[in-house]
């Protein structure tokens, strides 16, 4: 009970969540691929390939993969011919991603915060993220930043754990993630809370349908949900319309605007 209380206290405000998540991912980076595979019943990479397949990525597309981790989605999109930038707040994740090699194009990777993206407005045709939106301190500013850096007509695809609406299914699902996460946390880090963060973060997450509504509120259109694993996971997709407005010119780096942007 004391450990659970400590974890909940660590997520009780955006500031505390920001600090906790940064420490957590720095701790788990070297085992990140292993853990995502175990907690997804081995389906994690297949879901990421599915996201890449539905993204429309190809030659001439500029893509940004947020919370890129060790680069699975970034490499999958680059393999389709897109020019890809991967961004993650954890330096060790970026280091591991840079150490991988793609079969065709190799993405560029940098350390950065998806709530304060270092790109001009309208820089990308496509934004993707795997498990990113659930982990930000506040979802709305992150969606606003994604909307800002997409060109008009650009698309977002986000893969994440879902929050089942059925209370019984949700209870069993969270119990499974708690038990398995606690065991893995103890075995790998001697700290059960390490992966108990996942079910606790899902409890605080609006779920795929809630994210779809937040996307609409952020100015996206065509917001839709693709359920995976019987609805336990999901891909949120949405499109940007309207004109480019750069509210943060001080964040700009040398990055050309996309054709037609």
- Domains of the chain as residue ranges with CATH: 2-251 (3.40.50.150)
pLDDT digits (tens, 9 = 90+) for 19-74: 999 999 999 999 998 888 888 878 999 999 999 999 999 999 999 999 999 999 99
Collapsing DSSP states into helix, strand and coil, what is residue 135?
helix
**Number of neighbouring beta carbons within 10 Å of residue 38:** 15
Does the pLDDT of residue 247 top 60, yes or no?
Answer: no
DSSP at 31? G
Percent share of the chain, pLDDT over 70? 90
pTM attached to this predicted model: 0.88
pLDDT, the chain, mean: 89
CB 140 within 8 A of CB 216: no
Does the pLDDT of residue 105 top 90, yes or no?
Answer: no
Q: What angle do CA 44, 48, 51 make, to 5 degrees?
A: 140
The bridge status of strand 150-161 relative to strand 108-111 is unpaired
Q: Which residues contact residue 29 at a Cβ distance below 8 angstroms, ignoring those fewer than 6 apart?
A: 70, 90, 92, 93, 96
CB 89 within 8 A of CB 25: yes
């Amino acid at each position: 009970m004391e450990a659970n209380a400590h974890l909940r206290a660590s997520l009780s405000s955006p500031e505390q969540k920001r600090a906790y998540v940064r420490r957590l991912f720095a701790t788990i980076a070297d085992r990140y691929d292993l853990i995502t595979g175990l907690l997804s019943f081995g389906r994690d990479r297949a879901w990421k390939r599915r996201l890449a397949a539905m993204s429309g990525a190809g030659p001439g597309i500029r893509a940004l993969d947020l919370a890129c981790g060790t680069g699975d989605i970034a490499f999958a999109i680059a393999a389709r011919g897109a020019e890809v930038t991967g961004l993650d707040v954890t330096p060790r994740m970026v280091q591991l991603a840079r150490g991988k090699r793609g079969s065709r194009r190799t993405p560029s990777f940098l350390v950065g915060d998806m709530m304060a993206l270092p790109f001009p407005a309208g820089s990308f045709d496509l934004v993707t993220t795997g498990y990113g939106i659930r982990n930000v301190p506040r979802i709305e500013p992150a969606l606003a930043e994604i909307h800002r850096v997409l060109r008009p007509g650009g698309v977002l695809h986000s893969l994440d754990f879902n929050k089942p609406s059925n209370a019984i299914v949700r209870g069993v699902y969270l119990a499974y993630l708690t038990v398995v996460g606690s065991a893995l946390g103890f075995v790998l880090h001697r700290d059960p809370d390490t992966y108990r963060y996942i079910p606790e973060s899902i409890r605080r997450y609006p779920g795929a349908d809630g994210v779809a509504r937040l996307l609409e509120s952020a100015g996206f259109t065509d917001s839709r949900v693709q359920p995976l694993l019987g609805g336990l996971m999901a891909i949120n997709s949405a499109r940007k319309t309207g004109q480019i407005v750069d509210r943060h010119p001080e964040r700009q780096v040398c990055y050309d605007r996309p054709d037609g942007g």
